Amino acid sequence: MLFDRSSLRELSVAALIAVASTCSTAPLAEPLKPATAKNDASLRAELVFWESVRDTQNADELRAYLGAYPNGRFSALARLRIKALLGPSGEGTEAIAATQAPASASGATGAKEGATTATKATTAADRLQAGDSFRDCELCPEMVVVPPGSFEMGSDRNRPEEKPSHRVSIPGAFAIGTHEITVAQWDACLKEGGCRHSPEPGSDGRLPMANVSWNDAQDYLKWLREKTARDYRLPSEAEWEYAARAGSRSNYWWGNEKGAGRANCSDCGSPFGGREASPAGSFAANAFGLHDMHGNVWEWTEDCWNPSYRGAPADGKAWLRGDCLSRVLRGGSWALDHEYMRSSRRSRYDRDVRYYVNGFRVVRPVEAPAATASGDPAFESAVMKAANTVFSNTPKSASGAQAFIVDPLIDGLSGAESAATRRMESVIVEVARRNHPAFAVEEFTPSNASTARFAVVGTFTGVNKQRETSGTREAFRVCLVLLDLKAGKVAANAKEFAQPSGVDITPTKFFQDSPVWIADPPTQAYIRTCQTTKPGDPIDPVYLQQIKAAALINEAVDAYEKGQYERSRNLFASASRTAGGDQLRTYIGLYLSSWKTGAKEQTVDAIAKIVDFGLNSSRLAIKFPFQPGSAALQTGSKDAAPHELWLAQIARESTRRGICLEIIGHTDVIGPKALNQRLAARRAEYIKQRLDGLAPDLARRTIAAGKGADENLVGSRTGDARDELDRRIEFAVFQCSAAR
């Protein structure tokens, strides 16, 4: 029996199974069960997955099908195909057996008995399968799970940027929004302070949120990650096309012709075409259950722009090399004709520019976290266990609930707050409220810091297999300590390790915007208190001295992240006059808030204080905005003071002091060690040349060196805001004979 795979969506599930079953002998495919609304989506997803691997000559792709559907309708056929591909030697039979899952007592196969496609809220314990739809919270977008598989990406028949067509494998299931992000969903982010750009007044909440830049989309994703502790992001180009095709090889999921009333484009024959966007769900979904993958609004992806697919990843990941000031858009729009909405059609736009037909949808991973060699628990489970330990091991008062504050948790190396540390704080508070009524949380303010009995501090640190903070980070170390502020001693502590899967370590806005890293004493005292103390030890005096200032700084950081820059500047100024307020976060806050409010003299003054602070500590690190893979600097950012101001102040102060500087370049892992070191050295040499040009006398008192990725502080290897600190330039003061 012959059939057009592009018509998959047109067939009922029953018909799909009947057609697919003719591809094998009857005993190799499970007998047909009546399709119902409950299992329709799961069955369709399995069939699309099978269609993508049915003709493969790669046993690993067939194993991927068996991994997703160990008792699927074509599992017996898949195992025979694997055996045939591996040859008569029987090599690999253990791997085949490993994918054989026991059937349930009722004889149920790949689709879960009684499963439902109704949208549900997920929990940490949920095991999502292909075809499941869910929301992570009431205000969150509806998501559907797409199975892993392989497909031909691009087209050799069309435009140059779509060439060459190439095979891409999506190694694991992922969840993608069933619709583009709507105005109502964006409004939820706007009201909670996560998003800054407002939709058009009076916009229908069901419409896709358009006129957003790639940077705007990142604001929404950051808010969504913090709200759910799930690693939401934009789809990669490969993920987007794979999801749009949904098993088809044609121009659109329904075939090669535009048809009539299939989508919203200017010549698609719909009531909306050429005039306006259409509400979410106005047109039929594809075989994966996704609406509006063709037309309506262009959709941002994670990828940097490249003019062709030469050198593109084949593993489904985002291509983060090329022109990263421009990002890729897919799917076409209501304002353009059907040619622009083909599955393989590509476009681009400046990432910081809004356009009235540009929108986006989101993805997140769904794979169950793989256990590390030591069997580490998932992130939230590890935090809950640590929180229960510290509260359980602290003596209770007979006079009622004891107040505690949470001094914001930080990364154990960089000292930055992140989406993960914010989520940890929420989990700690929830554990206390639910399981430990003897403790009552209070807001972290200067007055509460003076009266509260206890304070929770904690660090979150990436570690390798040996539990060391170097190399590839394969787990996270969670350290929590409960401090008895009245007694001046450590009351209880706990340490757990967590799996890295699904953990979002993106720094919060204040720490993303901060251009500087210095190991200042208050932050180091906080880290020591978390990582080197035991119950009964005295609290580090440096930490105790600055706790009220830390509470004021916390208020200032919160105001900054809400866009209240004038209030933030006033709070940072107040902190600078408070005992213990002479610390790096104060001066960074004064710099950032002054720049945001246009106070240029105060900005320059803050830069001078930070440089002075860093040189006094003999090591100052700056996050210069280098172009990806280059020693050239990006220009034109409105979000930070020009790097010339920093270089001028470093040159001026170094000359005044007569000191010698080693300028050290660092990179994240971009390739072999030699390549990393070469790029780091080139960047250091470039900065040295700039300093020498500003102050020629420095030429004999500065040297340049490259450390590559040897001293990564983050080590996530993501090449984005999460590990920006790994691409820093350090200015290390050293003794030399050239000094006056």
CA dihedral of 637, 642, 644, 647, whole degrees rounded to 10: -110
Indicate the burial class of 623 (C-beta count within 10 angstroms; 0-12, 13-18, 19 or more). buried
With a cut of 70, which residues of the chain have pLDDT below it?
A: 1-49, 51-55, 57, 60-61, 80, 83-127, 367-375, 636-641, 670-671, 737-740
Peptide bond into 279 cis (omega under 30): no
C-alpha 636/C-alpha 640 separation (Å) is: 9
Would you say 709 and 665 are in contact if contact means Cβ atoms under 8 Å apart? no
- Cα separation of 293 and 239, whole Å? 12
148: three-class secondary structure by DSSP: coil
Q: Is 463 helix (H, G, I), strand (E, B) or coil?
A: strand
Provide the 3-class DSSP secondary structure of residue 183: helix
The residue to which tokens 């259950």 are assigned? 289
C-alpha distance from residue 113 to each of 43, 105, 117, 546 (Å): 12, 11, 12, 58
**Are 228 and 194 in contact, with CB atoms under 8 Å apart?**
no
Q: Are 116 and 101 in contact (CB under 8 A)?
A: no
Q: How many other CB atoms are there within 10 angstroms of residue 166's CB atom?
A: 15
DSSP class of 530: H
Residue type at 559 in one-letter notation:
A
pLDDT on residue 43: 65
Give residue 566's Cα distance to chain centre: 30
| Tokens coding 444 | 């972290």
Q: Is the dihedral of CA 121, 127, 130, 131 positive or negative?
A: negative
H or E element, residue 705: strand 702-706
What count of Cα atoms within 13 Å lies in the side-chain half-sphere of residue 385?
Answer: 14
Helical spans, DSSP H, in 128-194:
183-191
d(CA 32, CA 56): 24
pLDDT value, residue 587: 94
Which string of DSSP letters, residue by residue, matches 382-403? HHHHHHHHHHHTSPPPTTSPEE
Residue 263 near residue 285, CB atoms below 8 Å: no
Helices and strands per DSSP (H, E), number in the chain: 20, 22
Separation of alpha carbons 416 and 410, rounded Å: 5
* Count of CB atoms situated within 10 Å of the CB of 151: 19
| Residue of 660, 662, 730 lying closest to 701 (CA atoms) | 660
Q: Does residue 662 contact residue 732 with C-beta atoms inside 8 Å?
A: yes
Sheet holding 323-330, edge to edge: 346-350, 323-330, 298-305, 358-359
| Cβ proximity of 186 and 204 under 8 Å | no
Tokens at 589, concatenated: 């806050």
Residue-wise over 59-97: b if at least 16 C-beta within 10 A, else e?
bebbbbbbbbbbbbbbbbbbbebbbeeeeeeeebeeebe
Rounded CA gap, 712 and 708, in Å? Answer: 9
- Dist. CA 736–CA 660, nearest whole Å: 6
Angstrom CA distances, 390 to 52, 387, 567, stand at 50, 5, 36
Instruction: Please report, as a single letter, which amino acid is at residue 340.
Output: Y
Q: Report helix, strand or coil for 62.
A: helix
Contact between residue 698 and residue 651 where contact means Cβ atoms under 8 Å apart: yes
Q: What is the pLDDT of residue 264?
A: 95
Which residues contact residue 31 at a Cβ distance below 8 angstroms, ignoring those fewer than 6 apart?
A: none
Contacts of 416 (CB under 8 A, 6+ apart): 410, 507, 508, 511, 514, 725
Look at residue 638 in the predicted model and tell me its pLDDT. 54
CA distance 636 to 657: 32
* Residue 41 tokens, joined: 């989506």
- Please name the residue ranges forming H helices in 26-139: 40-53, 59-68, 75-86, 93-98
What are the DSSP E strand ranges found in 9-165? Answer: 120-121, 133-135, 143-146, 149-153
DSSP 509-556: HHHHH--EE---HHHHHHHHHHHS--TTPBPPHHHHHTHHHHHHHHHH
Assigned token pair, 673: 């060690």
Instruction: Map tokens 């820093």 to a residue.
Output: 728
Edge-first strand order for the sheet with 174-177 is 120-121, 133-135, 143-146, 174-177, 363-365
Q: Is 34 exposed, middle or buried (0-12, 13-18, 19+ CB in 10 A)?
A: exposed
Contact assessment for residue 591 and residue 603, using Cβ atoms and an 8 Å cutoff: yes
pLDDT tens digit string along 491-538?
A: 999 999 998 887 888 899 999 999 998 888 999 999 999 888 999 999
Best CA proximity match to 195, nearest among 208, 213, 177:
213
